Amino acid sequence: MEAHDGLSAKIVEESGFNGIWASGLSMSAAMGVRDNNEASWTQVLEVLEFMSDATDIPILVDGDTGYGNFNNMRRVVRKLCQRGIAGICIEDKLFPKTNSFIGENQPLADMDEFCGKIKAGKDSQTDPDFSIVARVEAFISGWGLEETLRRAHAYREAGADAVLIHSKIRSADEIMAFMEAWNNAGPVVIVPTTYYATPTEEFRRAGVSAVIWANHNLRASIRAMREVSRQLQRDESLVDVEKFVVSVRDVFELAGNDELAEAERRYLPTTLSGPRAVILAASRGIELGTLTENRPKCMIDVRGQPLLQRLVATFNEGGIRDIVVVRGYRKKMVNLPSIKTVDNDIHATTGEAATLACANEHLQAECIVSYGDILFRLHILDQLLAAKGDIVLAVDALWQERGNDNGRARDLIACSSPFRSGYHDNGPVSMVGIGPTLPEDSADGEWIGLMKLSADGAEAVRAELTSMSEDGSLGSASLTALMDRLRLRGQTIGVVYITGRWMDVDEVADLAEAQKFL
């Protein structure tokens, strides 16, 4: 997939592509110049360095004609290898190049001279895996299949790792004719910009090795920027724009701000202050099937990051830096640099309350207790931290709107007062019942797996966990059972109503929803 700078390269990698096409057209356009070698190769190299630093997947650069003769090619290849670029694609046209979609019957380079350029590049690479792709422009220039094949075979014999066969007609006829005559003599790359209506599966069956989507991120971004700029100029307001653009937080995430924050905590002397978070992440998450065979649920990938890392980032953004994670299944994989860990080594036979008990010594002063498989908006954490009370639960008043087609258990909760707009003007709300067996017609909401404890609340929870251990009920108890025991002892458990904006990741289908949520 095409990219033209560090940000677009990150988006390509995040989307799951196996490689990046560093398009000459796109990089030139992003600089505001034409695709006619108006951007120097050193300027292109600077852009590529940012792209390479930003990503871990291979980058194939559009090297135009090699930026000159064989000597220029030698130097370019050495410099690309130094920067970790995976390969270069050069085309058999004259320098300075003209974009293939401009004009007709563009002159081609001398075949023997171009073969020498390929050999010079292969002799100069310092990375044994570096690839040179020879782009054959014979179809573009009006030559037929015979000349295209003659050049492709010559370039392959000169050392090209693959040939790129380019065509600008509206059908894939030229490509298919070449593939049949080529008879799998070597890897073939295509660029279906004009013949995009042909299903990709047909290219697979024909033996094409790779497809380049050549300029579509650039074209998509131009349209989006035009629409936003015109609307802002017309409306002089962000009201109808904000809902269509990504959040600033998303930009920070792509730029790697979370990694910088973790590095600051690792390398700068700091004194942690404010509340602590205790995250329960000991379970495998067997409902996720093969996804958790070799990793715990909290470390599954959610749009390029482990689920736990996204949860930790939300706490960090809310000012909570002191984070303790209770590990269990495949515990060594739970190794984020910004967290402390304790272990529940009998997680397979114990429940949530026993997992929380493993962190008993960390339940001090004000703290947040959280399930390890949830995602929620920052304002929910802000609401919870601002709430008064020794034990306060975040409860979703719109729980019925979430649906429950698969019949999964829910932590339903009955409250002293149902949710209504302005409920807080009528005094605090408290829990009067909780648990997955609570009748739905008695429920006022669903506990989302997030609660705040004051110093006194933390002491009450520690004491109850100790009592449960002594009477033998701790092993299989859930957190809702713990809360109900505290309620029956006369402990007031407060409620903060929220209205959606959270989700739990329990099953494979939830991963797609998590993508949308983010």
Residue 55 lies in a domain: no
One domain for residues 206 and 84: yes
Residue-averaged pLDDT of the chain? 92
Strand partners, 369: 278, 451
Residue 311 lies in a domain: yes
The secondary structure of residue 475, as a DSSP letter, is: T
- Nearest residue to 451 (alpha-carbon basis) of 473, 482, 419: 482
Residue 227 lies in a domain: no
One domain for residues 169 and 275: no
pLDDT at 254: 84
pLDDT at 407: 66
Q: Is 256 left (phi over 0), alpha (psi -120 to 50) or beta?
A: left
Residue 58 lies in a domain: no
Strand 301-302 versus strand 305-306 pairing type:
antiparallel
Asked if 339 and 312 touch (Cβ cutoff 8 Å), the reply is yes
One domain for residues 187 and 263: no
One domain for residues 115 and 208: yes
269: CATH: 3.90.550.10
450-498 pLDDT, tens digit per residue, is: 999 999 999 999 999 999 999 999 999 999 999 999 999 999 999 999 9
Q: Provide DSSP, 149-197.
A: HHHHHHHHHTT-SEEEE---SSSSHHHHHHHHHHTTSS-EEE--SS-TT
pLDDT at 97: 64
One domain for residues 209 and 341: no
Residue 234 lies in a domain: no
137: CATH: 3.20.20.60
pTM of the full structure: 0.62
The secondary structure of residue 412, as a DSSP letter, is: E
One domain for residues 264 and 205: no
Find the mean pLDDT for residues 28-42.
Answer: 91
One domain for residues 194 and 320: no
Residue 298's domain comprises 252-517
427, pLDDT greater than 70? no
pLDDT band (50, 70, 90) for residue 444: very high
One domain for residues 322 and 176: no
- Of 214, 240, 263, the last residue of a domain is 214
One domain for residues 303 and 367: yes
Total domains in the chain come to 2
- Which residues are tagged catalytic? 35
One domain for residues 196 and 299: no
Reported as type and span, the H/E element at residue 400 is: none
